[in-house]
Amino acid sequence: MDEHSDILDFKPNYVATSCLDCTKTLQYALCSSLAFILREKWPYWLDENGLDITGLGDPKGLTNIDDVQADAIRNLCSCFKIEMHRHLQYPMESDGLRDVLTHSYARHAQGIGGQRIGNFSYGMYGLNGIASFVVASTFVRLLGAWEQFEVDALRCLVYHRPHGMVGPTCDNELIAIDEELHLRTFGSEISNEGIWSWMKTPAENRVERRKILSRIYGIDMKSLKKGDSKKVDGWYETRNRIAHGRGDANVLFATYIEADAFIFQQILRLSKQCKEKQLVWL
In tens, the pLDDT along 195-222 reads 787 888 899 999 999 999 999 999 987 7
Q: Give the whole-angstrom CA distance, residue 105 versus residue 73.
A: 27
Q: Give the whole-angstrom CA distance, residue 142 versus residue 26.
A: 7
Half-sphere exposure of 67 (CA within 13 A, CB side): 4
SS3 251: coil
Higher pLDDT, 76 or 101: 76
Q: Give the whole-angstrom CA distance, residue 36 versus residue 164.
A: 49
Q: Across residues 172-182, what is the average pLDDT?
A: 86
b/e sequence 97-133, b meaning 16+ C-beta within 10 Å: ebeeebeebeeebeeeeeeeeebbbbebeebbbbbbb
The alpha helices in the chain, defined as continuous H runs, are: 3-8, 14-38, 42-48, 67-89, 91-111, 126-160, 179-185, 188-191, 194-203, 206-217, 228-244, 253-278
Amino acid at 240: N
Name, in order, each residue with C-beta under 8 angstroms of 279's C-beta and a sequence gap of 6 or more. 161, 171, 172, 173, 174, 175
DSSP 116: E
* CA 91, chain centre distance (Å): 33
Q: Is 267 a residue whose pLDDT tops 50?
A: yes
Q: Give the whole-angstrom CA distance, residue 27 versus residue 264.
A: 12
Q: Give the whole-angstrom CA distance, residue 171 versus residue 168.
A: 6
Q: How confident is the model at residue 115 (pLDDT cuts 50, 70, 90)?
A: very low
| Least confident window among 60-69, 73-82, 165-174 | 60-69
Higher pLDDT, 72 or 176: 176
The whole-model pTM stands at 0.81
| Least confident window among 4-13, 89-98, 235-244 | 89-98
pLDDT of 269 reads 93
Higher pLDDT, 164 or 46: 164
Averaged pLDDT score across all residues of the chain: 76
Q: Is 262 a residue whose pLDDT tops 80?
A: yes
What are the phi and psi torsion angles at 116 (to 5°)?
A: -80, 130
Sign of torsion, CA 220 221 227 228? positive
Q: Give the whole-angstrom CA distance, residue 3 versus residue 227.
A: 17
